Amino acid sequence: MEEKKAQSRDRRHKIILAVLIAVALVSGFWFFSEYLENWKAQQEYERLAQIATETAATEEESTTVLEEETEEETQRETEPPYVSPINFEELAAINPDIVGWIRIPDTNIDYPIVQAADNDTYLHKSFEGEETSAGTIFLDFESQSDMRGYNSILYGHHMKNGSMFKDVVKYKDEDYFKEHQYFEIYTPKETIHLKAAACYYIENNPMVRKTRFRTYESFQEFVRMMLEPCEYAWFPEEPVNNLYVLVTCSYEVNDGRTVLFALEAGEE
């Protein structure tokens, strides 16, 4: 009898061990797959960043020549045409949905911005069209593509490896907020210099993505309402023409979002 009990225990132990090994293998495979996917996504965006900036020197030289020729030939005070530091022509050849590039110094945020006909397309789709959990930074489909409407909303995932909009959540710390307050969004037509104005977490609230307003005054009130919840918010003295919102997932509440609001740096 004792021998049978011992054999039964051995079988149970072997089954449990087999289950644990199977779980460990599945978990290991899942973690490796996730790591590999994130690594591939990061490699893609690093390559895109290189493509985006590799012709900057040539373009700057062209601008200098153009300025000299204009000065010699016309002797008029004319502003030279804008030349973006981002090679949008090359990027558009890869993905015509590109509308801009966002770069925040001293962070991991240095990515192309795309816009589709909805807010689902790029949730799990890379800039080059591959399926990936990292997705792509994208502009709300109801925002103006030139990012000169009342409210330009940008979405990015909160990735564990620190990529995409993970660094946005750090702006909830006042010291970090003040140390990283200035950044840029580049479009094919201009460089938009921005200053962070407020950051906090919310439950997923559609009010944040409001893009249409009855009057200019109602938009000013909307901006005030959006900035007010942040204890260390920056309120400009002059009326605001454009608001920019960076949105990513947040885990303080169910279905939470961290929202970072920014205004043009010149609106001081």
Other CB atoms within 10 A of residue 204 CB: 13
Is the sign of the CA dihedral 148, 149, 151, 153 positive or negative? negative
Contacts of 91 by beta carbon, 8 Å cutoff, 6+ apart: 48, 51, 52, 98, 112
pTM score, whole prediction: 0.78
Place of tokens 């804008």: 82
Q: What are phi and psi of 215, to 5 degrees?
A: -140, 165
Each residue's pLDDT, cut to its tens digit, for the chain (268 residues) gives: 566 555 565 666 556 655 555 444 444 444 444 444 555 556 767 777 778 777 554 444 444 444 444 455 544 457 788 999 999 999 999 999 999 999 999 999 999 999 999 999 999 999 999 999 999 999 999 999 999 999 999 999 999 999 999 999 999 999 999 999 999 999 999 999 999 999 999 998 889 999 999 999 999 999 999 999 999 999 999 999 999 999 999 999 998 999 999 999 875 4
Other CB atoms within 10 A of residue 135 CB: 22
Q: Token pair of 49, please?
A: 């960043």
Reported as type and span, the H/E element at residue 29 is: helix 2-53
Distance of alpha carbon 44 from alpha carbon 231, whole angstroms: 38
Distance of alpha carbon 112 from alpha carbon 135, whole angstroms: 11
Place of tokens 């460089």: 191
Distances (CA, A) of 251 to 54, 123, 256, 258: 38, 18, 6, 9
